[in-house]
Structure 1
Amino acid sequence: MSSLTQPATAFRHEAADGYSLGGFQWRHAEPDPQRPLVIINAATSVRCRYYARFADYLFAHGFDVLSYDYRGIGESRPASLRGFQASWSDWGCLDFEAILQRAASEFPGQPVNVVGHSFGGWAAGLAPSAGQVRRLVMVGAQFAYWRDYAAEGRWRMVGKWHVVMPLLTRLLGYFPGKRLGWMEDTPAGVVRDWSTPAPRYEHRPSGRLLQARPFAQVQAAALAVSLSDDPFGTVAATERLLGYLDHAQPRHLRISPVDIGEQEVGHFAFFHDRFRASLWPIALEWLRDGVLSEGMPGQRLS
């Protein structure tokens, strides 16, 4: 974290089941109940440190920021993942919920906004306290339903994520993603959720069906940003997610790399520092004002 313009402070916070989560916070010295807080929900098996420069950017523009790792990942990883129990539902229902509870206790009265990357967009709709979120930015957010993958390369992705990944997980008791250079090592339950062929979110946290439809509590002003060269975040995948937002009027902004003078962005690079001047202002404006100004790049699909 030494390369950041502002120091980040490490924290630990217990989920309702007692699991200790780790993360970082960027907090202004003087408390202000009018200052918005932003929680960053990471993509599947991406460490929260990946978003540090983006968090620092938001801090420099007047926000307090919380970034954390889901159980089993990064700052929240146990000594061994072999046999470790964690699912996508746990990440949303328990872990994101815990960070919302931290926001309420440590940043009392401050408006709560969320940035969710990939699965992190789904996680925003799983927490029981999600109704307290005021504004939501989802980048490349989708369910990883294989039929929604980009047509070009779909079967290669199916082979990688729905065949090889679960097979290795069965052999080892977790997915060794870091060793393969694919992502961080991943708990078996998360791999099961990812590789399921079902198109709807109907997983079982700790053996219990979800009690409510995802996003049932969400009334936030929601913006979904998808990139035309993101093989996960296709229009179909993004619209599938937005279909769960029954109590909001979400906006969908579709951006092509050429819109910002680039050749590629893909699924991950939105949060790279090189897009500080071209892509990050989109999220900043929505989090600050809840609008998309006419000068922003991309096509408004909704």
Structure 2
Amino acid sequence: MNLQDMPSLAPTQLELPLPTGTPGESFNEPAADGFILGGFTWRHANQDPTRPVVIINAATSVRCRHYSRFADYLFTNGFDVITYDYRGIGESRPASLKGLEASWSDWGALDFEAMLQRAQREFAQQPINVVGHSFGGCAAGLGTSGHVIRRLVTVGAQFAYWRDYAPAHRWRMFGKWHVVMPLMTMLYGYFPGKRLGWLEDTPAGVVRDWSMPTARYEKRPSGRVIHTKNSQLPFANVTAKTLAISLSDDPYGTIPAIERLLDYFTGSTNTHLRITPADIGEEKVGHFAFFRSAYQATLWPIALSWLQTGELAPDTPGRRVPRS
């Protein structure tokens, strides 16, 4: 198969460069198994135990640099911020992805957990909040220290069950992510997403988790490992006040997909906010665009308000989805 003949189906152009003048400083942090993770910290000069620190969990195979403008926004509004890349991606990529058996559960149970540990060490006694995009919202429930999270905001968060994809896009997305992606991974030993213009290159274990057509996370390949070791998945450890934001034109983050993930967060108080592009005077937003600086005046304040107060402002656009 000739990679040059494959079409680029990336739904939105990502913003990758760090903003000019950012206070972000690079760091390396070992996970519990010794794998070195790379990321960036936005840190205020003065220490304040009342100032929250926010950890940003990226979407599957999206570099943490995509969230740098949003991190800078949170920093400007009084937060310390940590962004990082999961193993195999961006700042945490080894020389070769062949043979790297990183999985979704590794990204949560090892990599996100390492950031929770780092936040407790580097920002001792400060409240810890989390923002999770797409799979990053799932990763927020996989760390064993999830009980330390005070507030959680997720955006389009789900774990890619194909029947939850928007009906108008379902079969195209199934072919792309559940047929082409695993076949290409078998051929190359990892998914060469960057050359296709789809995602960053992605470890084979993550592809196996994503492409498995099952509605239960504990039945994904790496989810089975966690469930075998522990009768209860770590999601229940999270007691944070949780806001799940979804966009009506996001083909991944449909209402069933968002609710499916929220059902795992049994220990937290969960609010699902559904926003249409028209609610903010736009024609489209989709799955990736929330964190683009174009939405600083419309979408970002929603997340900011929740991180600050744990509540939605009275004039927040969108509607609350009733929880069953």
Which TM-score band applies after superposition, normalised by the shorter structure?
Answer: over 0.9
Equivalent residue pairs, number: 302
Which residue, 145, 152, 162 being the options, matches 2:168? 152
Asked if 2 retains the 8 angstrom alpha-carbon contact of 1:177 and 1:186, the reply is: yes
The answer for the alignment partner of 2:190 in structure 1 is: 174
Partner of 1:209: 226
Q: Distance in 1 between matches of 2:19 and 2:192?
A: 29
How far apart are the structure 1 equivalents of 2:111 and 2:221? Answer: 15
Q: Name the counterpart of 2:66.
A: 50
Counterpart of 1:270, as a letter, is F
Q: 4+ residue runs of structure 1 moved beyond 6 angstroms?
A: none
Retained in 2: the 8 A contact 1:5–1:56?
no
Mapping for residues 50-69 of structure 1, pairs under 5 Å: 50-69=66-85
Q: Does 1:116 align with 2:132?
A: yes
Partner secondary structure for residue 11 of structure 1: strand
Q: Specify the code of the residue in structure 1 equivalent to 2:172.
A: R
Aligned with 2:122 (options 92, 100, 106):
106
Calculate the aligned-residue CA RMSD, in Å: 1.3
CA contact (8 A) 1:255 1:297 kept: yes
User: Is the aligned partner of 1:93 residue 2:113?
Assistant: no
One-letter amino acid of the structure 2 residue matched with residue 45 of structure 1: S
Identity among equivalent positions (%) equals 66
Taking the aligned partners of 1:139 and 1:207, their CA distance within structure 2 comes to 25
Q: Report the Cα distance in structure 1 between the residues aligned to 2:284 and 2:292, rounded to whole angstroms.
A: 12
Instruction: Give the match for residue 310 of structure 2.
Output: 290
Q: Matches of residues 228-267 of structure 1 in structure 2 within 5 Å?
A: 228-267=248-287
Residue aligning to 1:223:
243
Q: 1:247 Cα shift? A: 1.2
Residue 65 (structure 1) shift: 0.0
Per-residue deviation, 1:2: 5.9
Secondary structure, in 3 states, of the residue corresponding to 1:294? Answer: coil
Q: Classify 1:204/1:196 alpha carbon distance in 2 versus 1 (closer, same or farther; 3 Å).
A: closer
1:95-126 alpha-carbon deviations (Å, 9 max, x no partner):
00000000111110000000000000000000
User: Unpaired segments of 5 or more residues in structure 2?
Assistant: 1-16
Residue identity opposite 2:111 in structure 1 = D
Which amino acid in structure 1 is aligned with residue 55 of structure 2? Answer: I
Amino acid at match of 1:209: I
Name which of 213, 227, 231 aligns with 1:197: 213
Is 1:41 matched with 2:61? no
Q: TM-score, normalised by structure 1?
A: 0.98
User: What letter corresponds to residue 294 of structure 1 in structure 2?
Assistant: P
> Alignment partner of 1:96: what SS?
helix
Secondary structure of 1:186's partner? coil
- Paired with 2:97 and 2:224, the residues of 1 have a C-alpha distance of 19
Q: Distance in 2 between matches of 1:176 and 1:281?
A: 35
**Unmatched 5+ residue regions in structure 1?**
none
Alignment partner of 2:87: what SS?
A: coil
CA 1:214–1:158 in 2, change beyond 3 Å: closer, same or farther? farther
Equivalent position SS for 1:295 = coil
- Contact 1:219-1:247 within 8 A present in 2 as well: yes
CA shift in 2, pair 1:206/1:234, >3 Å: closer
Q: Which moved more, 1:46-55 or 1:196-205?
A: 196-205
Q: Structure 2 length as normaliser, TM-score?
A: 0.91
Q: Is the 8 A contact 1:4 1:53 kept in 2?
A: no
Q: In the alignment, what sits opposite 1:26?
A: 42
1:150-173 Cα shifts (integer Å, max 9, x gaps): 000100000000000000000110
- Asked if the contact 1:4/1:56 (under 8 Å) is kept, the reply is no
Q: Evaluate the alpha carbon distance shift between residue 214 and residue 2 of structure 1 in structure 2; reply closer, same or farther with a 3 A threshold.
A: closer
Does the CA-based 8 Å contact 1:28-1:64 persist in structure 2? yes
